[in-house]
Amino acid sequence: MAEAPEQPDIPKRLPLVIDPANRGNSTAYDARLVNCYSEKSKEGDYYLYERPGLDEQSRPPAANATGRGITFWRGNLYSIFADKLYKDGVAQAGTVDTTNGVYKFDSCLGATPKLQLGNGIEAYNYDTAGGLVNISDADFPSLFVKGWAYLDGTTYVMVPSAHILGSDINDPPNWDPLNDILAQIEPDQGKALSKQLVYVVAFKEWTTEIFYNAGNATGSPLGRVEGAKIDWGCLSADSVQEVGGVLLWLGRGRYGSPEVILLDKLKAEAVSTKPIERLLEQATLTNVYSWAVKLNGHRFYVLTLKDENLTLAYDLDERANSPWSQWTDVNGNYLPIVSSCANDLLQPLLQHESNGRIYIASNDYATDDGDLIQVDIYTPNFDGGTRRRKTLSKLEIISDQQAGSVLEVRVNDHDFDPKRWSNWRRFDLSKKRPYIDDCGTFVRRVHNFRHKKPVRMPRIQAMELQILLGTL
């Protein structure tokens, strides 16, 4: 029988906007985006952008000191490194506790506005006249969960037994022993406290309860928002972040596995995908960091699982498309950032975990303070809808142009086998139509595109494959 003739070249354009697709609890296999994020245009096209780079903003004198939180308050940047509070890089008198990770901040008004900082073990007030003062009122709890909620003049904290306690009006050094309400729809313990809109949000082990200012004449001013119970609790107080009025955290139901939960206008939903949850299910959640940043119209919630050497970024403004990506440092490890805030210039500031530095994050920076950013795009296995052998005569990248920018590619025809990657080939992204030819034959193929240059990666849209379809 005569052999069937080869088919003509078939151009195939594949978007490079990719959802994580790990088949198990490792990121070493299957599709994923590393150090980049996606955006859908009004015309419906999808593009990839390199994640923000970092440039040093300040370096308090605590070199190589553990970062414990930053905040911007009344025109000044406050940071905690090791056991010292710094104001615009100048150490303030006194020391803070170092036994429980990153601090949470809030503030109050009144005759003497104060900054509050606490880590669940110790709590402090700060003002420019009085300096740093430990909250020593007998009615303030000796142990509390992380997080503050300031509402209508009262500062609230919660204790592990799920009691929410309140201060005197705009007077957080003094606490009213009668200002106490119990979050008791379910008998789970308190885990974290926060605020959304005009509501106090009490995170517990497997549920979350919502309170409002009921204006009670005695006892706590708070009242429970009936019917607003959320059937997700909180696994780590250090995972709770407010991002443009939206709360996100690492949560769980009473009998469920870990999920990332989003609360917007008191409506909760799980935003972690199945592959992300596979990563979370086997994770050790002892050392968790989180932070938030808004840049170029994107709001990112960034979650680090240090024991898994993994940093995951969620893009709130692309939640309907491909919102999840992995962010790393120059060595491919977790991104060592523990806290964030924005200054009066609306610049996002990020605190390093251990080198004593604070960085500005910007899409204008091509490096992380001189360290190259390695963008990796791992495509899904592609077979073109058939297991017939295919010859790839030409591979073209659809992208903007950028002088000095080079994109490398390697392929794997053996289902991500780490020992079976090809050698690297290069695209010159300064050219109008960057392409390579003579790309071999395959039945099923993975592409790994990599950008690691001291210039920003240009916006990338897709790859276009010129395929010759062979016989069975």
**How many other C-beta atoms are found inside a 10 Å radius of the C-beta of residue 73?**
18
Phi/psi at 239 (nearest 5 deg)? -90, -10
Per-residue pLDDT tens over the stretch 105-134: 999 999 999 999 999 999 999 999 999 999
Q: For the domain covering 53-371, report its CATH number.
A: 2.130.10.10
Domain 9-16+379-469 has what CATH class? mainly beta
Q: Higher confidence at residue 124 or residue 472? A: 124
What percentage of the chain reaches a pLDDT higher than 70? Answer: 97
Domain residue extents for the chain: 9-16+379-469, 53-371
Cα end-to-end distance, the chain, whole Å: 14
241, 232 contact by CB (below 8 A): no
Dihedral (C-alpha) 299, 305, 306, 309: value to the nearest 10 degrees? -90
Q: What is the mean pLDDT of residues 43-51?
A: 94
Which residues on adjacent β-strands are paired with residue 359?
56, 350
Q: What is the pTM of this model?
A: 0.95
Q: What is the mean pLDDT of residues 348-365?
A: 97
Type of residue found at 287: N
Dihedral (C-alpha) 402, 36, 349, 332: value to the nearest 10 degrees? -110
Residue 10: the pLDDT is: 65
38, 17 contact by CB (below 8 A): yes
Average pLDDT over the chain, rounded to whole?
A: 95
Residue 61 has pLDDT above 80, yes or no: yes
What percentage of the chain reaches a pLDDT higher than 90? Answer: 91
Residue 435 has pLDDT above 90, yes or no: yes
120, 145 contact by CB (below 8 A): yes
Residue 5 has pLDDT above 70, yes or no: no
Residue 2 has pLDDT above 50, yes or no: no
